C-alpha cells in the first residue's frame, strides 16, 4: 500500500523499488489488486490505474508469488494458456530479435532495411488476434465470476497498444521518417507490449487458473478458432482428460474460495468503473441452452423472440428471399424500402416464374449447380435507374450437407461505393443513412 501510494504521489520508481526490496520477499496478485482497490476507496480516479499499472508491474516484477494451484493440463498443447504463452514467446522474438535488430542497422545509417522493418511491423499487427481472443473469451469468463475491473483496465491498455503499433507503422512508411523519432516511437510501443505480456502471464493467467473450471477452458479452446491465432499455426484440439477432472473435483472447495476471493478483490473497483459489465452468474451454460418460451426461436448462437426476429428482418439493409429445395419461394424479408417488389402471393410460387423469360435459364442453371454442389455462390450487379444493385445467391445446406435451398440477397450499394476515409465509432458521428438520403 505504501509503495503504490508513493508512486501515485509522484515518487520515483527507484525509491519504490528500493522500498519493496527492503520490506518484501514476495507479493501475490490479490495483494496488488487489493492495494489498488484501497486507493480507489480513498478517492483516486480509477482511470489512474491504467496509466500507472505498468509502473506497478515493474516494481513487483520478479517478486509476484505463483500462488495458484494450476491444472497440469494448462501446460498441454492446445490449452488456451499454453497457446497464449506460445504466442507471447514468438511475439517477444519478433520484438527483440527482428524489429530491434532492424532498427539497430537503420540507426547505423543503413536504410535498406526499411522495407523489412515495415514488413515486421505489419506482421506485429497480428497481435490483434491475440488480444481479441483474450478480450472476447478470457475476459468474458472473468466477468462471469465477478472479476470485472482487471479486464476493463487491460482492454484499455490493449487499445493503446493497437494505436501505438498503427502509429509506429505509419511513421515507418512515411516519406519524412527519421531515425531518432522512429526509435523513440518503437521503444514506447515495445515497452507497452512487453508489460502486457508480463501482466497476462503473471497476473491474469494465475488468477484465471485459480478460478476457471476445466469446462470453461474447453469452451475457450473451442471458441478460439473463431478469432484465429497470432504468429503460430492453429493449435491441436484440446480437451481435459479424466484424471484432470478427478483432480478438479478434489480441489473444488479451493476453487470456490478462489472465486470468492477474486470477486471481493475486484468488486469495489468495478463499482467505480462505468459502464459495469459485471455478472454474478456462475452457471455453466448459455441462456439459449435453456428451455425456450413459446414465442422464442433458439439458434446455435443465441435466442430471439418472434417480435425481435421480425424487427431484425425489417431493418436489415438488404432484401432477403429464401427458395426451398423444391425451387419454390418460401420467405422474403420486408424492409422499409424494397429494391424489387414482393407480395405475399409470391409464397409457394416457383422461383423461375418470378423472373422474366430472358433470365429464367440463368436462374435454373444456378439452382442446378447448387443442388449438384458444383457452385456455392453466384454474384451479379446491375444498374437500376441511378442506383447500383448487388445481387447474390447462396446455396444453403444442413449440418449433414443436405441441400436446403437458396438465399437471394439484394442490396443497393450505390452509397457504399462512395465511402472514403473513416468514421469510427468512438468519434461519435452519426452519418445519414441511405434511406434518409432517399427520403
Give every CB contact of residue 415 below 8 A, 6+ residues apart in sequence: 434, 437
109: left (phi over 0), alpha (psi -120 to 50) or beta: left
- The residue that leads in pLDDT, 19 or 306, is 306
pTM, two decimals, is 0.58
Q: Please state whether beta strands 387-397 and 403-412 pair in parallel, antiparallel, or not at all (unpaired).
A: antiparallel
Tell me if 393 sits within 8 A of 366, measured CB to CB: yes
With a pLDDT cut of 70, the percent of the chain lying above it is: 73
Edge-first strand listing for the sheet containing 403-412: 329-332, 319-324, 403-412, 387-397, 377-384
- Which pLDDT does position 5 carry in this prediction? 62
Q: Please state whether beta strands 329-332 and 377-384 pair in parallel, antiparallel, or not at all (unpaired).
A: unpaired
Question: Could you report the per-residue pLDDT of 249-282, keeping only the tens digit for each?
Answer: 988 898 898 888 877 776 554 444 333 333 333 4
Judged against a pLDDT cut of 80, whether residue 132 lies above it is answered with yes
- Name the CATH architecture for the domain at 316-418: 2-Layer Sandwich (3.30)
Distance CA 160, CA 183 (A): 18
Least confident residue range of 68-72, 120-124, 314-318, 419-423: 68-72
Question: Could you report the per-residue pLDDT of 390-426, keeping only the tens digit for each?
Answer: 999 999 998 888 999 999 999 999 999 999 888 876 6
The full set of domain ranges for the chain reads: 2-60, 72-271, 316-418
- Identify the helix (H) or strand (E) that includes residue 321: strand 319-324
pLDDT band at 350 (very low <50, low <70, confident <90, very high): confident
Least confident residue range of 90-94, 342-346, 368-372: 342-346
Question: Could you report the per-residue pLDDT of 299-340, keeping only the tens digit for each?
Answer: 777 888 888 998 999 899 999 999 999 999 999 998 777 788
Please name which of 242, 267, 227, 203 lies closest in space to residue 46, comparing C-alpha atoms: 267
- Does this chain's domain 72-271 share its CATH topology with 316-418? no
- Which pLDDT does position 144 carry in this prediction? 87
- Identify the helix (H) or strand (E) that includes residue 319: strand 319-324
- Which pLDDT does position 344 carry in this prediction? 81
Look-up of cell digits 452457471: 283
- Which pLDDT does position 25 carry in this prediction? 52
- Which pLDDT does position 20 carry in this prediction? 57
Q: Provide the CB-side half-sphere exposure for 59 (13 A, CA).
A: 31
- Identify the helix (H) or strand (E) that includes residue 437: helix 434-438
Please give the average per-residue pLDDT across 26-32, as a whole number: 54
pLDDT band at 37 (very low <50, low <70, confident <90, very high): low
Least confident residue range of 94-98, 163-167, 419-423: 419-423
Cell of 66: 505463483
Tell me if 303 sits within 8 A of 312, measured CB to CB: no
pLDDT band at 68 (very low <50, low <70, confident <90, very high): very low
If you classify domain 72-271 with CATH, what class do you get?
mainly alpha
CA distances from 43 to 38, 46, 47, 52 (A): 9, 9, 12, 16
pLDDT band at 16 (very low <50, low <70, confident <90, very high): low
Please name which of 225, 209, 227 lies closest in space to residue 217, comparing C-alpha atoms: 209
CA distances from 360 to 42, 198, 410, 428 (A): 75, 63, 18, 47
Tell me if 216 sits within 8 A of 80, measured CB to CB: no
H, E, C per residue of 362-373: HHHHHHHHHHHC
- Identify the helix (H) or strand (E) that includes residue 394: strand 387-397
**Residue 406: phi, psi to the nearest 5?**
-125, 140
Question: Could you report the per-residue pLDDT of 207-239, keeping only the tens digit for each?
Answer: 899 899 999 999 999 999 999 999 998 998 899
Please name which of 385, 403, 381 lies closest in space to residue 394, comparing C-alpha atoms: 403
Cell of 304: 430471439
Please name which of 7, 439, 47 lies closest in space to residue 274, comparing C-alpha atoms: 47
- Provide the β-strand partners of residue 412: 389
- Which pLDDT does position 274 carry in this prediction? 38
Omega within 30 of 0 (cis) for the link into 275: yes
Give every CB contact of residue 85 below 8 A, 6+ residues apart in sequence: 201, 205
Distance CA 356, CA 354 (A): 7
Amino acid at each position: 500500500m505504501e509503495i503504490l501510494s508513493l508512486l501515485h504521489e509522484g515518487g520515483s520508481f527507484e525509491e519504490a523499488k528500493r522500498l519493496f526490496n527492503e520490506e518484501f520477499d514476495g507479493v501475490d496478485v490479490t495483494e496488488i489488486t487489493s492495494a489498488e482497490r484501497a486507493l480507489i476507496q480513498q478517492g483516486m480516479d480509477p482511470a489512474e490505474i491504467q496509466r500507472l499499472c505498468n509502473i506497478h508491474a515493474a516494481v513487483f516484477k520478479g517478486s509476484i508469488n505463483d500462488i495458484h494451484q494450476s491444472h497440469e493440463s494448462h501446460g498441454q498443447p492446445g490449452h488456451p494458456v499454453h497457446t497464449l504463452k506460445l504466442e507471447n514467446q514468438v511475439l517477444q522474438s519478433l520484438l527483440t530479435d527482428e524489429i530491434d535488430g532492424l532498427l539497430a542497422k537503420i540507426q547505423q545509417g543503413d536504410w535498406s532495411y526499411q522495407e523489412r522493418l515495415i514488413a515486421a511491423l505489419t506482421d506485429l499487427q497480428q497481435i490483434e488476434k491475440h488480444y481479441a481472443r483474450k478480450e472476447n473469451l478470457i475476459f468474458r469468463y472473468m466477468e462471469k465470476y465477478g472479476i470485472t475491473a482487471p479486464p476493463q483496465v487491460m482492454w484499455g491498455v490493449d487499445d493503446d497498444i493497437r494505436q501505438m503499433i498503427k502509429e509506429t507503422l505509419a511513421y515507418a512508411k512515411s516519406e519524412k521518417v527519421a531515425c531518432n523519432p522512429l526509435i523513440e516511437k518503437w521503444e514506447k510501443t515495445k515497452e507497452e507490449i512487453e508489460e502486457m505480456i508480463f501482466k497476462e502471464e503473471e497476473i491474469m493467467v494465475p488468477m484465471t487458473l485459480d478460478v476457471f473450471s476445466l469446462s470453461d477452458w474447453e469452451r475457450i479452446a473451442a471458441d478460439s478458432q473463431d478469432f484465429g491465432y497470432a504468429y503460430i499455426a492453429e493449435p491441436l484440439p484440446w480437451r481435459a482428460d479424466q484424471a484432470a477432472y478427478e483432480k478438479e473435483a478434489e480441489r473444488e472447495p479451493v476453487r470456490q474460495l478462489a472465486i470468492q476471493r477474486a470477486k471481493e478483490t475486484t468488486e469495489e473497483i468495478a463499482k467505480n468503473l462505468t459502464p459495469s459489465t459485471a455478472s454474478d452468474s456462475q452457471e455453466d451454460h448459455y441462456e439459449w441452452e435453456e428451455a425456450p418460451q413459446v414465442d422464442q426461436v433458439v439458434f446455435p448462437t443465441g435466442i430471439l423472440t418472434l417480435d425481435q426476429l421480425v424487427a431484425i428482418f425489417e431493418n436489415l439493409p438488404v432484401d432477403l428471399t429464401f427458395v426451398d429445395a423444391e425451387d419454390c419461394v418460401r420467405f422474403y424479408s420486408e424492409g422499409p424500402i424494397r429494391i424489387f417488389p414482393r407480395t405475399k402471393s409470391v409464397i409457394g410460387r416457383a422461383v423461375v416464374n418470378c423472373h422474366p423469360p430472358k433470365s429464367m435459364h440463368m436462374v435454373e442453371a444456378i439452382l442446378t449447380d447448387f443442388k449438384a454442389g458444383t457452385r456455392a455462390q453466384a454474384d451479379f450487379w446491375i444498374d437500376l435507374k441511378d442506383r447500383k444493385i448487388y445481387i447474390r445467391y447462396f446455396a444453403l445446406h444442413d449440418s449433414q450437407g443436405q441441400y436446403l435451398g437458396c438465399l437471394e440477397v439484394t442490396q443497393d450499394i450505390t452509397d457504399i461505393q462512395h465511402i472514403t476515409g473513416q468514421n469510427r465509432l468512438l468519434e461519435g458521428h452519426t452519418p445519414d443513412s441511405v434511406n434518409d438520403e432517399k427520403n
